[in-house]
Amino acid sequence: MAIPTTRPGGPAERAQLPLEREPDALTIGRRIRHLRTVRGMTLEELGAAIGRAPSQVSLLENGRREPRFSQLQAVARALGASLDDVLSPEPPSRRDALEIELERAQRGPLFESLGLRPVRVGKSLPTDALETIVALRRELERLHTERAATPEEARRANVELRATMRAQDNYFPELEGAAAELLAGVGHTGGPLPQRVAADVAAHLGFTLHHVPDVPHSTRSVLDLRHRRVYLPSDRMRGRSNPTSALLQALAPYVLGHAEPQGYGEFLRQRVEANYLAAAILLPERAAVKALRAAKDARAISIEDLRDAFAVSYETAAHRFTNLATRHLGIGVHFMKVHDSGVIHKAYENDGVRFPADALGAVEGQHVCRSWTARTIFDAEDRLSPFSQYTDTPAGTYWCTSRVQDGADGLFSVSVGVPFAHVRWFLGRDTTRRLASRCPDEACCRRPPEQLAERWAGQAWPSARPHASMLAAMPAGAFPGVDQTEVFSFLERHAPPV
């Protein structure tokens, strides 16, 4: 997975930029053919100049042979051109670009799977026919990709993203740099981020804010890049969402230079990057690390204290702790957001804890053990005081602290945990709650007790209520689940008069 790219020249200019494209054999071949034709040379003449047979030059021009560097130097000299002329990643003409695209497609697995005879791409193929074939190829690939965007594809994307996050300890310095640069641009030096300063961030980026009652129901916000406007739900529509966080998440795609996602994996990555950037602005790295290091020195790390110090939600504070804990405090950590039904909605770990996972390695959608803190907290009568528990698992003993929050889809627990070796740094380590989990052993909590099973086996027929996403493909479109017609109509309705 490519880690965040940013808008060149924008506020996050120092973050990683896209790598320059490398020319492939097809493009190099087309450039050689173009330069040869412009200079009026035949295949035989170029072959003689570089000491190769005309057939070998033809293979080179058709991209059928990977050229050696010494060979390219000889070709460039023979054509009176520079190596840059030969190695440019851009096709020499629009016609060449179409030919290259068709050649690549015909050599790819999708075309091969259709069992079609390849089209000979040469001068005899009219340009309009070439354009039609390429357009049909693009539409076929789009439909194939759309059909492939199944829940399985989504789970694979989640697995790949979590692996990337784990490899970097969920810490992305380029996003931290982008957040610091934005905060410096509006003069915010630390402490909770007032809504006024969040509005200053928008103005600093050249955007005006507009709170409207008719934001499309399939969206949380809409950016009008043409008129530099940010549309957010009006006060009566905000519900439980934090307006400051919503604004920062809305601006993040612009700051990071996101393009329309080409697949669910890219869409998911962009969502994670936007959330990360918003949290890094709400809890700036320098100030948050200073507070956490002081808490560690006092052996009093608390997600509640981090939440209160920066006036954010518990979930935002918990997420932010996972960004900073390993890199700055040397603490491995895991995070979970779990529905009261026991289903995992979000999860991250780099401390060796073993989450339940399916055959693909996906964690989201799995049921967490009934003995884990993320489940036992739902039985707690006191929802105001911090809740923590030790859990003995096959992977070791873990301490976890958790909170219950109300969401649009019901109650969720948000939990942060660490291995036993690190618990000495945390408030709540003196808890007496301790349970044992043998999951993934089904006898732990997934298999009913033998006596109960004997009494009811064959006598129950529950009506399952699966999520629709289990049965259907991912929603179509660049942004899954978003009604693009509704969004465009909304922008047209609110656009300022010309």
Structural domains of the chain in order of their starting residue, each with its CATH number: 25-148 (1.10.260.40), 321-447 (3.30.450)
Which CA distances in Å does 369 have to 166, 420, 423?
A: 22, 19, 21
pLDDT at 158: 85
Taking the CA atoms of residue 21, residue 23, residue 24 and residue 30 in that order, the dihedral angle to the nearest 10 degrees is 140
Give the list of residues 6+ apart from residue 27 with CB closer than 8 angstroms, or none. 63, 88, 89, 90, 91, 100
Q: Specify whether the CB–CB gap between 183 and 281 falls below 8 A.
A: yes
Query: Buried b vs exposed e over 229-254: b needs ≥16 C-beta within 10 Å?
Result: bbbbbeeeeeeebbebbbbbbbbbbb
Positions in the chain whose pLDDT score sits under 70: 1-22, 112-113, 144-151, 235-241, 464-481
Terminal Cα-to-Cα distance of the chain (whole angstroms)? 41
Q: Specify whether the CB–CB gap between 303 and 314 falls below 8 A.
A: yes
Cα 78 from Cα 36, distance rounded (Å):
9
pLDDT at 150: 63
Q: Do strands 229-233 and 208-212 pair parallel, antiparallel, or not at all (unpaired)?
A: parallel
pLDDT digits (tens, 9 = 90+) for 447-494: 888 888 887 888 777 775 555 444 444 445 556 667 777 787 888 889
pLDDT at 440: 87
Bridge-partner residues for 181, per DSSP?
none
Cα 301 from Cα 328, distance rounded (Å):
13
